[in-house]
Amino acid sequence: MKRQIVYFPDAALSRPCIAMTSFDQALRDLADDLYDTLRAAPGVGITAAHIGIASRLVVLDLPELGGRRTYVNPDITWFSPDLMSHTEGSISMPGATETVTRPKAITVRYQDLDGQAIEERMEDFAAICMQHEVDQLDGMFWLKRLSKLKRDRLVRKWEKSQRQGA
């Protein structure tokens, strides 16, 4: 079921999310709802925070990962010293994009929907997406990765587009 996305500057986007402890049907239903919401947005990644739920849950839908992937309680345990720049945005701020530089590769530890612990290395676009979503789980909206000048310019442009009903 598609859920309502919360939009910048909603406080839910600045709150750190708490670990999921129940690996039950409610978790599976929430993951399915996140996927439905992501597809409707459209986007390539979503967290529970994007729908106002402060739980550490990420759904990515990337061809390089084989399509839909669900990550419960993801934690990045290693960052590559090599960096990569990529244009980022958010389903909570549609139409606003800017270049962000992040580590090119990471190792992420997470649980699947059954609670099984998994460790995975990610590179390139998949690594960028996971870092973006883990930042969101930590209460760091992607704009905080921008310089103050770029952030202020983008926020002004976003606010203007919202006043004009874009």
Residue 22: CB atoms within 10 A of its CB come to 9
Helix (H) or strand (E) run with residue 150 in it: helix 148-163
Would you place residue 153 in the very low, low, confident or very high pLDDT band (cuts 50, 70, 90)?
A: very high
Label residue 166 by pLDDT band (50, 70, 90). Answer: low
Mean pLDDT for the stretch of residues 141-150? 96
pLDDT tens digits along 93-104: 998 999 999 999
- pLDDT of residue 31 exceeding 90: yes
- 133 tagged catalytic: yes
Q: Which residue in the block uniquely carries the two structure tokens 């990337």?
A: 62
Cβ partners under 8 Å of residue 116, min gap 6: none
The pLDDT, as a whole number, for residue 162 is 87
Q: Read off the pLDDT of each residue in 21-49 and give the average, rounded to a whole number.
A: 97
Task: Assess contact for 105 and 82: CB atoms under 8 A.
Answer: yes
Domains in the chain, start-ordered, CATH in brackets? 11-163 (3.90.45.10)
What confidence score (pLDDT) does residue 129 get?
Answer: 97
DSSP class of 162: H
Catalytic residue among 88, 123, 133, 159: 133
Q: Which of 13, 24, 54 is CA-nearest to residue 141?
A: 13
pLDDT band at 109 (very low <50, low <70, confident <90, very high): very high
pLDDT band for 163, please (50, 70, 90 cuts): confident
